[in-house]
Amino acid sequence: MSRRQLIELGVVAVLVALAALGFQPMYGGAVFALPAFGGLVVGAGAITLGRWLKQSLVTSVVIAIFLYFLLGSALAMPSVATFGVLPNLETLDGLARGAVFGWSDAVTLTIPLQAPPYIPVLAYVASWAAAAISAAIVLYWPVRAGTGSTLRRVIAVIAPLALLIATIILGTHLTFLAGVRGVLFTGVALVWVCWRSAADAAANVAGSGDSGRRKLIGVATIVIGALLAGGLAGAALQPPVAKRVVARDEVVPPFDPLDYPSPLAAFRKYVNDDMKKTLFTVDGMAPGSYVRIATMDSWDGVVWSVARNAGTASGSGAFRLLGRDLPQPSLFTPGGTSKATVTIKDYSGVWLPDASYPTGLSISGPDAASLSQNVRVNSETGTIALTSGVKSGLSYTLDVTSLKVPNDKQLVAVPAAHIDSPPMSSVPDVVASTAKQYAGGATTALQTMQNLQKSLVNQGYLSHGRASDPVPSRAGEGADRIDDLLTKEPMVGDQEQYVTAFALMAHSLGYPVRVVLGAKVPKKAGEVPITGNDVTAWDEVAFDGVGWVPFFPTPTKTDAPKEQTVKPKVIPQPQVRQPPRDHPKDDQLLTPVQTKDQDKRKHDEGFQIPAWAWFTGGGVLLLAAIVFVPLLVVWVLRRRRRRKRAAGSVDRRAAGAWAELASGFRELGLDRPGHVATRTQLVSHYETASAESGVAVQPGVLGPIARRVDHAVFAAGQLADDAADALWADIDAVLEHARDGMTWVRRRLSDYRYSRI
């Protein structure tokens, strides 16, 4: 590499570094520095290494990709790398995933970027790519002195410029030394492009000394003037921070309710710990009406979850950005309209309390504009979320439309709606059998739901697990708690258990059902405080053409007997008669539960390899495959080439030995020119170019070998086989001497090269 190429390489490295500083506002603090500047060093260093070793551009790119994965674990994902530096399956997957998905994550995740673990890969891969592309242009694009190769330098600036623009678009309203970085970037790029152009042009002009100086002075004057004018204009015309256009303002961040705890799981906290606390106040709602906090329709055997999106269930809806007007649900019969004002006190979370189905929401206060950008509304369920969190002092006004529910006489003839409900897993077996028993002989959807509700209310007792309650009641809404509720006598629980049992039984009978957490408005006038004691929960079942009709399956009586016993099974499990076998086996006497338990004990026995060992071993094996598989392929090809050249008559074997010498030199980095015609000329080229290429060639050794090969090929008579064997031995000795004179790194890299010459 020439001195000029090294200077140009330094220039593009400075440009990439200035552009990479734009990642600072996205990551916050200095955490961006290691992946960003590490990617710069890896990208530029890999291309420089390949050029220094006289490898082709393709080989240098392969080296850059290899070093990207090898060093990326320590630079971009040290927290999950093995021992903080070594790659494993997780880091290799993250380096690939971050290069593909990091760009979309940068504009959808909150600032500063902290998760997922592969998010630092964005800064790493961006700097790596920009540095590698610029370095490849600088080092592999031939420099034509005196011709003014301006295009070459302009193209080399494109990659750093693209990185600079990307950090602006993907960034935030806040910037990191925007003016200083912009002026420095522009100045360095203009001086580099214009100065080298002027110097090249001056080389072809007579009396170039004076002319070159004048051109350099002119270039410097233009650059300084452009920087001053651009800096002053930028300072005057720079838009306010709030009006700066960034991509994240144009992209709707995805809201996943599963990222937050289940609302119903906090029920006992409200009714016990916050029993006397004022969670929020409402003004404008009718006494006895209900405030809706969150609607849940997905149960995983442990807790209820808020619906994620409409792609899995048609009745779940999806959370959208808050607009001026909120659409009504698709399954909804509008009733009366009202306006209510809610003021937050001791309530916290992400779910905004609302009334029935909101059609409009207006936040008051100085932060109203910014808070409105964080509001997500699910119009199908009437659930509102504030992603930045609900805090004390927040006040907002709701435009509410209530559901018009027909009376029982009208509703009895209405069938249940056909809605795809989310799946519910790990449902206890007792739920289905109890549902059939409680439903009785009901023939309509309304009768079935009313029978389920009456059975729970009549047979159950209410207990919040307080010290004053006659019977203790365990909290929870998981499968084990519901199994206890339906199998033990007496049936004891509160809204958390009864609404879960009702929903699971209705779902087992094929009805679309969901659970709502909310509060009942006390019978007071004006601004009414809602305390933890007012929090309740109920179920809603969808009726065709009507909407989601509420049901309240929680009993009100609290005088439950203290002793609890397990209820006998009401409905026995059906028995299936199996045909007899000639030779019954012992395992046929085991029940499915016993067989499953035995299999579990068998699987639990013995040594289990820890997960970190799998990841570490997989990473080592993958790295070994990347290193040794290409090496094995090249070794096989070389053996095949040598076997073909060493076969045949003496003259063919002699010519094959010389071809093997040329191939060996080329694989070591000493190539043969295309214009050389004879072996004697090729010997002269090898001895002359050996010092420049770093391949050791013994003076006076190749000449006799070349003459012996010519004699063996062109001699009139047939030589003895020993002559060809001696030539092959001498060729191997020359190549071995050349390899011994090289560094260990160059020898290892030459093992990956294959030449067919």
Residue 658 is predicted with a pLDDT of: 86
Distance separating alpha carbons of residues 138 and 340, to the nearest angstrom: 67
- Type of residue numbered 232: L
Of 572, 567, 426, nearest to 485 by C-alpha is: 567
Distance separating alpha carbons of residues 112 and 228, to the nearest angstrom: 34
Contact between residue 40 and residue 16 where contact means Cβ atoms under 8 Å apart: yes
143, 296, 385 from 258: Cα distances, Å: 58, 11, 12
Where is pLDDT greater, at 587 or 276? 276
Alpha helices in 77-120 (DSSP H): 89-108
Distance separating alpha carbons of residues 527 and 326, to the nearest angstrom: 25
Judged by average pLDDT, the poorest of 44-58, 105-119, 642-656, 717-731 is 105-119
Contact between residue 515 and residue 499 where contact means Cβ atoms under 8 Å apart: yes
Residue positions counted in the chain: 757
Of 213, 70, 199, 136, nearest to 619 by C-alpha is: 70
pLDDT of 547 higher than 80: yes
State both tokens at 95.
């380096």
Summarised one tens digit per residue, pLDDT across range 640-685 is: 888 888 888 888 888 888 888 888 888 888 877 766 668 888 888 8
pLDDT of 310 higher than 60: no
Distance separating alpha carbons of residues 656 and 727, to the nearest angstrom: 10
Contact between residue 475 and residue 409 where contact means Cβ atoms under 8 Å apart: no
Summarised one tens digit per residue, pLDDT across range 583-636 is: 444 444 343 434 344 444 444 445 566 665 666 676 677 777 777 888 888 888
Residue 594 is predicted with a pLDDT of: 41
> How many CB atoms sit inside 10 A of residue 704's CB?
11
Residue 592 is predicted with a pLDDT of: 40
- Type of residue numbered 311: G
Phi first, then psi, for residue 339 (nearest 5°) are -130, 130
Question: What is the reported pTM?
Answer: 0.48
Q: What angle do CA 583, 585, 587 make, to 5 degrees?
A: 160
Which distant-in-sequence residues (6+ apart) come within 8 Å of 161 by Cβ?
A: 15, 19, 185, 189
Summarised one tens digit per residue, pLDDT across range 15-48 is: 899 888 888 887 877 888 899 899 999 999 999 9
pLDDT class for 322, splitting at 50, 70, 90? low
Which distant-in-sequence residues (6+ apart) come within 8 Å of 535 by Cβ?
A: 267, 270, 271, 279, 293, 517, 518, 519
The gap from C-alpha 109 to its chain's centroid, in whole angstroms, comes to: 10
315, 348, 497, 657, 734 from 641: Cα distances, Å: 68, 75, 77, 11, 18
Contact between residue 517 and residue 294 where contact means Cβ atoms under 8 Å apart: yes
First to last CA, the chain: 26
- Region 403-410: mean pLDDT is 91
Distance separating alpha carbons of residues 496 and 504, to the nearest angstrom: 12
List, in sequence order, every beta strand (DSSP E) within 327-445.
Answer: 334-344, 349-352, 354-355, 357-364, 375-378, 383-390, 395-403
**Bridge-based pairing state of the strands 460-462 and 491-493:** parallel
pLDDT of 249 higher than 90: no
Q: What is the average pLDDT value for the chain, to the nearest integer?
A: 80
Residue 593 is predicted with a pLDDT of: 39
Distance separating alpha carbons of residues 615 and 90, to the nearest angstrom: 7
Of 295, 329, 319, nearest to 401 by C-alpha is: 329
